[in-house]
């Protein structure tokens, strides 16, 4: 099937070469005269396209929902369907591998925190420098405000190191009422257990083999892995610390969070989170 654009070219050639009328040229190539006279309107989405591509290039692992919320946070008053249409036209869609689950764990109900610093969640991740030397990454997230008070990276970490991180968090934010964590040797150390007993902090260990009981930190770790660790090359330990600090600042201050109505944790007053959940706004 010949496209209208090609028919318009042929009609123009007939008119210019054989000096036929527009009506006859359009009849010969079977083209409507209104289509032949149509002039495309200028793109009214140029600035929006540029803003969308800028965010997609800067944060390549954020999909359409996150980019849409970031545009809204920047002040763009646009409908999500318009942004999604441009997102597809610009071919910015991400390709995600589907993981095949061999078995399912029995899900247990995780009680939600009701105020900031009521419960922190801790976990460890692994990565490596460009030289191949291994890195240990300690991630911490507040289950209520979704804010990350610390992301620490070292070649190795002990229980005393974890206690030092918790002391720094307590100095600036206060002591948490409880901490949800897995059964790793660093998290079952005498130093951490003694610190928790002295400060009356409950250590809530998950059932071995059931990471879904620590779902908040597992979700956060997925974002750290996909948006930072998999995107960056660490030249040294100092380089890794600097890049993880930059990403944590982005997560806390710019990255939208669906549980907070599309706002980043630091831009959403902690005392209003309950009101938002109750009203659904």
Residue 32 shares a structural domain with residue 84: no
Indicate if the pLDDT at residue 270 is higher than 60.
Answer: no
**Span 230-240, mean pLDDT?**
95
Residue at 103 is within a domain:
no
| Residue 264 and residue 215 share a domain | yes
CA distance to 41, 135, 263, per residue, from 52 (Å)? 21, 34, 18
Full domain range(s) for residue 259? 119-279
Mean pLDDT (the chain, rounded): 87
Among the ranges given (97-111, 117-131, 157-171), the one the predictor scored with the smallest mean pLDDT: 97-111
- Residue 94 phi, psi (nearest 5): -90, 150
- Which tokens belong to 242? 């600097």
pLDDT at site 41: 81
Burial class (CB in 10 A: 0-12, 13-18, 19+), 32: exposed
In this structure, the answer to whether residues 142 and 263 fall within a common structural domain is yes
**225: DSSP letter:** I
Distances (CA, A) of 198 to 74, 118, 163, 170: 45, 17, 12, 13
Domain count, the chain: 3
pTM equals 0.73
In this prediction, residue 53 carries a pLDDT of: 92
Write down the pLDDT at residue 177: 93
What's the pLDDT score for residue 4?
Answer: 84
Same domain, yes or no, for 126 and 257?
A: yes
Residues 136 and 64 grouped into a single domain: no
- Which helix (H) or strand (E) segment holds residue 222: the answer is helix 215-224
Q: Residue 137: inside a domain, yes or no?
A: yes
Residue 281 has pLDDT above 60, yes or no: no
Rg of the chain on CA atoms, in Å: 27
Rounded distance between C-alpha atoms, residue 121 and residue 181, angstroms: 6
φ/ψ of residue 134, rounded to 5: -75, 150
Q: Could you give the CA distance from residue 269 to residue 95 in angstroms, rounded to a whole number?
A: 34
Mean pLDDT for 39-44 is 81
Residue 126 has phi, psi (to 5 degrees) of -125, 145
62 lies in a domain?
A: yes
> Do 124 and 205 lie in a common domain?
yes
Do residues 143 and 180 touch, judged by C-beta distance below 8 A? yes
Residue 267 has pLDDT above 80, yes or no: no
Q: Does 139 lie in the same domain as 66?
A: no
C-alpha count within 13 angstroms, C-beta hemisphere, residue 163:
16
Report the pLDDT value the prediction gives residue 2, as an integer from 0 to 100.
77
- 114 by Cβ neighbours in 10 Å (0-12 / 13-18 / 19+) ranks as exposed
Q: Is residue 68 one of the residues assigned to a domain?
A: yes
Q: Are residues 63 and 134 in the same domain?
A: no
pLDDT band at 140 (very low <50, low <70, confident <90, very high): very high
């Amino acid at each position: 099937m010949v496209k209208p654009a090609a028919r318009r070219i042929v009609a123009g050639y007939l008119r210019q070469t054989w000096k036929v009328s527009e009506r006859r040229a359009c009849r010969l190539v079977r083209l409507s005269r209104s289509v032949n006279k149509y002039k495309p309107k200028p793109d009214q989405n140029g600035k929006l396209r540029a803003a969308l591509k800028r965010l997609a290039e800067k944060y390549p692992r954020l999909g359409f929902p996150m980019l849409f919320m970031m545009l809204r946070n920047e002040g763009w008053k646009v409908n999500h369907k318009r942004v999604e249409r441009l997102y597809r036209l610009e071919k910015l869609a991400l390709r995600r591998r589907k993981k095949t689950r061999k078995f399912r764990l029995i899900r247990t109900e995780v009680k939600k925190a009701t105020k900031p610093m009521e419960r922190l969640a801790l976990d460890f991740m692994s990565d490596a420098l460009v030289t191949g030397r291994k890195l240990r990454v300690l991630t911490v997230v507040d289950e209520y405000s979704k804010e990350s008070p610390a992301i620490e990276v070292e070649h190795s970490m002990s229980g005393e190191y974890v206690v030092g991180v918790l002391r720094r968090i307590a100095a600036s934010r206060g002591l948490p009422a409880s901490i949800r964590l897995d059964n790793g040797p660093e998290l079952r150390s005498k130093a951490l257990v003694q610190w928790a007993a002295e400060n009356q902090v409950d250590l809530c260990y998950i059932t071995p083999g059931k990471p879904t009981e620590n779902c908040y930190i597992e979700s956060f770790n997925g974002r750290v892995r996909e948006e930072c660790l998999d995107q960056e090359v660490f030249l040294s330990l100092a380089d890794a610390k600097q890049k993880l600090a930059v990403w944590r600042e982005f997560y806390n201050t710019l990255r939208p969070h669906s549980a907070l109505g599309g706002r980043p944790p630091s831009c959403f007053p902690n005392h209003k989170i309950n009101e938002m959940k109750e009203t659904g706004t």
